[in-house]
Amino acid sequence: MAETVVWIDSSGLTLPIRVEWNVSGRFAPRAEIVEAEVPGVPGSRVREVRHVTKQFTLPVWITADDEVALRTVTRELVKRMDPLRGPGKIRVTAPGGDQREITCLVSSGLDMVEALGSTSAPTLQRTPLVFRAHDPYWAELAPTNLAFHSGEAVSFFPFFPLRLSSSEIFSDSTADNVGDVDTWPVWTIRGPAEDITLRNVTTGKYLTLNVSLLTGESVVIDTRPGRKSVTHSSGANLFRNLSSLSSMWPLLPGANAVRVEMTGSTPEVSQVLLSWLPLYLSV
């Protein structure tokens, strides 16, 4: 199976692109190492290591049956990839059939270079498109979900239900992050429920939300960088209801022991759903 690449613009429109075998920068993001010299001591000390904004180049061929069709296709590609429309996604289907995508902007290449016989012909145009991904990781297309229910366990795919007590949920489970790096989850809590604490026992970090949810009410806790929020189903912002020591903690790569605690739950009604996207260093 050959690899395929598509561009998904900010409106969700999918545009197949033909990429030649001359790609650079798609795999590991560049690491920035911050060092500090210590007076009187040989060498230096590492203060921080982090992945920086990812930039990669995809040489793209635009082809059509005739000159009129080529102009139409080129115009559409330029419009759909215009960075002023907002970020889009490059989605790659690997030879093995697995898919990963990365959110990015086109930083250059849409101006085209028209040199007959070199980069252009009446029915084709070549241009190296440069993409910048400010979140430098490739992600799976669909999240992994782990659901906690009070009362009897249910058996619907793809969640993995757990039996919890009806009066006070206190349950340990394992969230397996198969990705290469930390990932920040999204929590959905459906009432009735009170005094909710979500713990990553593996790291010792926890999040406590002081709230009372009635039947039919819910709250979504989004811990993702740039999106951190706590939102009631009514639309109310409950960020101030987090305890002062709360941490919007990530899932580490591998197995994470997760504990959910809350009071006032009702069997078959109360629910906690943990959802996360595995992230990867490479396509």
For residue 19, which amino acid is it?
V
The CA distances from residue 195 to 148, 185, 209, 235, in Å, are 16, 20, 6, 19
pLDDT tens sequence across 150-189: 643 333 333 333 444 434 555 678 999 999 999 999 999 9
Tokens matching residue 244: 């002062």
Name the CATH code of domain 144-280 (choices 3.40.30.10, 2.60.120.860, 2.40.50.140, 2.40.128.120): 2.60.120.860
Q: Provide the 3-class DSSP secondary structure of residue 118.
A: coil
- What pLDDT is stored for residue 171 in this prediction? 64
- Tokens matching residue 94: 């690997």
Task: Sheet with 163-164: list strands edge to edge.
Answer: 163-164, 144-150, 271-276, 186-190, 218-222, 229-232
Q: pLDDT tens, 69-106?
A: 999 999 999 999 999 999 999 999 999 999 999 999 99
- pLDDT tens profile 10-53: 999 999 999 988 888 899 999 999 999 888 889 899 999 999 99
Contact in structure between 216 and 270 (CB atoms under 8 Å): no
**Which phi and psi (to 5°) does residue 267 adopt?**
-55, 140
Helical ranges in 65-114 per DSSP H? 67-81
Other Cβ atoms within 10 Å of 67 Cβ, number = 11
Extract the tokens encoding 20.
Answer: 């030649």
- Fold identical between 4-139 and 144-280? no
Residues 215, 216, 222: CA angle, nearest 5 degrees: 110
Determine the 3-state secondary structure of 224 from DSSP. coil
pLDDT at 129: 96
Whole-number Å distance between alpha carbons of 45 and 217: 51
The predicted structure's pLDDT at residue 88: 97
Q: Where are the domains of the chain?
A: 4-139, 144-280
Task: Write the class of the CATH domain 4-139.
Answer: mainly beta
The per-residue pLDDT for 150 is 61
Output the six-digit token pair for 55. Answer: 């930039």
pLDDT tens-digit readout, 211-254: 999 999 999 999 999 999 999 999 999 999 999 999 999 999 99
